[in-house]
Amino acid sequence: MKIMLNGIHLAYSDQGHGEPLVFLHAFPLHRAMWEAQVQAFAEAFRVITIDLRGFGESDAPIWRYSIEQFADDVHALLDHLSIPRATFVGLSMGGYTLLALYRKYRNQIQALVLADTRAEADSEEVRSGRMAMAQTAYHQGMDAIAEIMIPKLLGSTSLASRPNVVQTVRAMIARNQPSGIIGALIAMADRPDSTALLREITCPTLVIVGEEDIATPPAEVKRMADQIPGARLEVIPSAGHASNLEQPERFNQALLSFLQTMGKS
Ligand code: MLT
């Protein structure tokens, strides 16, 4: 489905009935990365997955992008769907978006799941890397982006022994357009530091990390979880940064038991 909001067509899926569960994808993927979660949770929940602007089937204009704009789009979509409050799951860039959503629209957030993500802003070195990747996207396209990103997204177990997962991620990256990828790289490079916000989070929060994640390593993610009052941490074995894709059953189990502690299943 698509809706026109904030000047673009935003693509999303809305499946199942019950308490709303909203999933926000990583860079440079799109909403199809949540397929295993949609299958598992749409029986008991209303599951919304969104292609953030610039990704998947959403428009990817050659214009300004920001993480705050992603959060504004999510907020506007939920208003359109008459969902005043929801549980949100965001992985990596999806997590950056959730922190922006919390900063601006915290009343809309019932509970948070922050997976394989961080609260810190980019270092200068990371910003330079993003600029170089933007040039690569412009000059060489999505195949070159896949070559750079697959070793960062997937853990050593998946890279060595799950060619189907590698292929799925490659195909997902190929669906994107350079304009959206470049816009998102600039958005991530410009995002503010959210470390101070962590202490202000009062909703139930689950933090997830793949034990083989090299993009947001477990020790770093644990430090983030330690700063969120009452947050629970789950480490997913044999998974890297894309923990929900690499170990869907374990990821789903962690999410389900969190939802159960809130009386939501
Ligand atoms: C992601 O998975 O969304 C990216 O690793 C985020 C980033 O590049 O900071």
pLDDT at 265 over 90: no
Provide the mean pLDDT of the chain.
98
CB contact burial 105-115 (16+ within 10 A = b; e otherwise): eeebbbbbbbb
What separation in Å is there between the alpha carbon of 263 and the centre of ligand 1?
A: 31
Q: What's the gap in Å between 46 CA and the centre of ligand 1?
A: 26
Q: At residue 264, does pLDDT exceed 90?
A: no
Q: Is the CB of 92 under 6 A from ligand 1?
A: yes
**Nearest C-alpha to atom 7 of ligand 1 is from which residue?**
93
Question: With left for phi above 0 and alpha for psi between -120 and 50, is residue 146 left, alpha or beta?
Answer: alpha
Cα 115 to ligand 1 centre (Å): 11
Ligand 1 centroid to residue 45 C-alpha, Å: 27
Kindly report the protein residue whose alpha carbon is nearest to atom 9 of ligand 1.
93
- As given in the structure block, the two tokens for residue 33 are 């990365």
Q: What type of residue is 237?
A: P
Looking at the CA of residue 118, tell me the nearest atom of ligand 1: 9
CB 28 within 8 A of CB 176: yes
In ligand 1, the atom with minimum distance to the C-alpha of 185 is: 8
Q: Is the CB of 93 under 6 A from ligand 1?
A: yes
d(CA 32, CA 35): 5
- What CA–CA distances, in Å, run from 29 to 9, 34, 87, 161, 244? 18, 10, 21, 21, 13
Type and span of the H or E element at 234: strand 232-236
The beta strand positions in 92-163, using DSSP E, are 109-115
Does residue 215 have its Cβ closer than 6 Å to ligand 1? yes
Distance in angstroms (rounded) separating the CA atoms of residues 30 and 28: 7
Taking only the tens place, the pLDDT of each residue in 143-184 is 999 999 999 999 999 999 999 999 999 999 999 999 999 999
For ligand 1, atom 4, which residue shows the shortest CA distance?
A: 27
Q: How many CA atoms lie within 13 A of 114 on its CB side?
A: 32
pLDDT score, position 263: 81
pLDDT for 53 beyond 90: yes
Mutation test residue for ligand 1: of 24, 25, 27, the one with most atoms within 8 Å of CB: 27
Q: What is the pLDDT of residues 1-29, one digit of tens each?
A: 999 999 999 999 999 999 999 999 999 99
pTM value is 0.98
> What does the pLDDT look like over 95-123, one tens digit per residue?
999 999 999 999 999 999 999 999 999 99
Task: Evaluate: CB of 26 within 6 angstroms of ligand 1.
Answer: yes
Distance from the alpha carbon of residue 217 to the mean position of ligand 1, in angstroms: 12
Q: Is 188 in the pocket of ligand 1 (CB under 6 A)?
A: yes
Q: What is the pLDDT of residue 86?
A: 98
CB of 173 shorter than 6 A to ligand 1: no
| Cβ of residue 241 lying under 6 Å from some atom of ligand 1 | yes
241 CA closest ligand 1 atom index: 2
